């Protein structure tokens, strides 16, 4: 898609200077032409001259999927009287292929774990008998706060994927997935009961163990 945009921009330059498309060159943010060495225009200046949008299109047939392996280990504390679950410790492991910027990868993993904890214990829409959403705002839709999540240790594994640039693998969303089953497993270890519905609220937990 980016290459398509560049080709279309070169066509705009060619029309503007009345030169052949093949003569238009682009390097380091500047367009020029081999037909007139004195002509040049920056990317920003060209964009300012355009009367409309330039849209690029492209497609790729992916033959090899890198995959995104990872997992989460948690220690939880469960109160069988109130049904409250507190995550005490969390370790997130992710195969990043090649962590081009390790600090950013760690931050992505930690943020994903927070979202995963929210998905596991707090977040969920509530509806009335007519199907209307009852918690359609951030006042009523429960999200984890800094008091609800532990310090997250991020463990980066680097097993490069040869078909990707630098061997990198995706770490954008995969850290969100494994906290919920990890927490469910920990609750089962603590109480001997499997919670199979999200979010694992105190009410659902107390119903599962027969308190209510």
Strand-pair category, 30-33 with 36-42: antiparallel
Categorize the per-residue pLDDT at 200 as very low, low, confident or very high, splitting at 50, 70 and 90. very high
Q: What percent of the chain has pLDDT over 90?
A: 84
Structural domains of the chain, ranges and CATH numbers in brackets: 2-49 (no CATH), 70-208 (3.30.365.10)
pLDDT exceeds cutoff 90 at 165: no
Q: For position 38, what pLDDT does the model report? A: 87
pLDDT exceeds cutoff 90 at 85: yes
pLDDT exceeds cutoff 80 at 65: no
Q: What is the DSSP string of 18-87?
A: T--GGGEEEETTEEEETTEEEEEEEHHHHHHH-SS-----------S-----EEEEEEEEE-TTT--EEE
pLDDT exceeds cutoff 90 at 144: yes
Q: For position 66, what pLDDT does the model report? A: 77
Mean pLDDT of the chain: 93
pLDDT exceeds cutoff 80 at 194: yes
Tens of pLDDT, residues 92-127:
999 999 999 999 999 999 999 999 999 999 999 999
Tens of pLDDT, residues 5-39:
999 999 999 999 999 999 999 999 999 999 988 89
List all residues 6 or more positions away from 23 whose beta carbon is below 8 Å from its beta carbon.
14, 33, 34, 35
């Amino acid at each position: 898609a980016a290459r398509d945009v560049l080709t279309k921009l070169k066509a705009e330059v060619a029309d503007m200077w009345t030169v052949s498309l093949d003569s238009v060159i682009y390097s380091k943010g500047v367009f020029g032409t081999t037909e007139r060495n004195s002509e040049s225009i920056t990317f920003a200046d060209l964009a300012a001259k355009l009367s409309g949008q330039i849209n690029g299109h492209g497609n790729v047939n992916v033959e090899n999927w890198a995959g995104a392996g990872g997992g989460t280990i948690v220690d939880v504390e469960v109160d069988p009287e109130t049904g409250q679950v507190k995550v005490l410790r969390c370790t997130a492991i992710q195969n990043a292929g090649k962590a081009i910027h390790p600090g950013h990868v760690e931050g992505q993993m930690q943020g994903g774990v927070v979202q995963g904890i929210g998905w596991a214990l707090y977040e969920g829409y509530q509806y009335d008998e007519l199907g209307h959403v009852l918690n359609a705002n951030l006042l009523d839709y429960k999200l984890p706060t800094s008091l609800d999540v532990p310090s997250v240790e991020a463990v980066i594994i680097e097993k490069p994927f040869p078909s990707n640039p630098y061997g990198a693998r995706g770490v954008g969303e995969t850290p969100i997935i494994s906290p919920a089953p990890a927490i469910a497993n920990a609750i089962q270890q603590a109480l001997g009961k499997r919670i199979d519905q999200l979010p694992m609220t105190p009410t659902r937990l107390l119903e599962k163990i027969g308190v209510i």
